[in-house]
Amino acid sequence: MRPVKIVLMSSLDGGVGKTTLASVLSVAKGYTLLIDMDWEKADLSQLFRAPRKPGWLAPFIDGQKPYIHRINPMLYIIPGYEAFELYQKHGEDVTGEFAEALMEWVEAMPKYVSSLRIPVDTVVIDTTAALRTDLLAKLQKQGVYSVFMTDRRLISRISDVKAEQYRRYMAYASLVVVNMVEKDELKIARKIAPVVLKRVKIPEYYGESVANAILRDKDNKKAIDTVLSRIKTA
């Protein structure tokens, strides 16, 4: 059984670029299986134009095997449309079951990936914002590498309550990344977080195009290389 790195994208707030970072890391690295476990949006599935076929929740619904969509010869994705549709229908009533399913996936991941005939040594899981901290703690114990994503709000004036929420979530993170920082804010942002991404124009909202737009900026390319280096040596 070949070793598999599991990387979890987490955040406290929505709209901070968590899904974008998942796609950029995966495109930059290659040999990666993406899993869209953001049941509130399923944006990653749409970002890479994954077809509406059985996804990560399928084994728990009707016992079907999840469909693996090939993005390119070194990048694959398992979609998350069923979870999104169930969440739209039932709301918070189903999130506990989704969290349990996520844990089962993490526990089974090495064996599962080993059974696949695709060149993958890393799994990147995109999740919904504000996962329960008890779930994050369990994932941490499982050896999952958790990337906590935030935006420029972390470097601005925030309430004591919000600051405490950030501290709680960052306690379960392997790495903190601040996204969408303006050029004149880079210096102060780098004093707070080890990895900072500048805001850039993204002309086309498609997985590989988004990644390439971010990676074309030399500061962002250096930041992504830092994240990948941290994951590799973890």
Please indicate, yes or no, if residue 33 is contained in any of the structural domains.
yes
Using CB atoms within 10 Å of the CB of residue 30, give its burial: 0 to 12 exposed, 13 to 18 middle, 19+ buried: middle
Rounded to whole angstroms, how far apart are CA atoms 217 and 21? 14
Give the chain's domain count: 1
DSSP 92-115: GGGHHHHHHHHHHHHHHHHHHHHH
Measuring CA to CA, which residue among 48, 4, 75, 73 is closest to residue 231?
4
State whether residue 134 is helix, strand or coil. Answer: helix
Q: pLDDT, tens digit, for every residue of 7-28?
A: 999 999 999 999 999 999 999 9
Please indicate, yes or no, if residue 234 is contained in any of the structural domains.
no
Structural domain boundaries, residue 91 = 5-228
Contact present, 62 and 48 (Cβ < 8 Å): no
Q: pLDDT, tens digit, for every residue of 108-143?
A: 999 999 999 899 999 999 999 999 999 999 999 999
CATH of the domain at 124: 3.40.50.300
Please indicate, yes or no, if residue 50 is contained in any of the structural domains.
yes
Average pLDDT, the chain: 94
What are the residues whose beta carbons fall under 8 Å from the beta carbon of 110, sequence distance 6 or more? 1, 3, 4
pTM over 0.85: yes
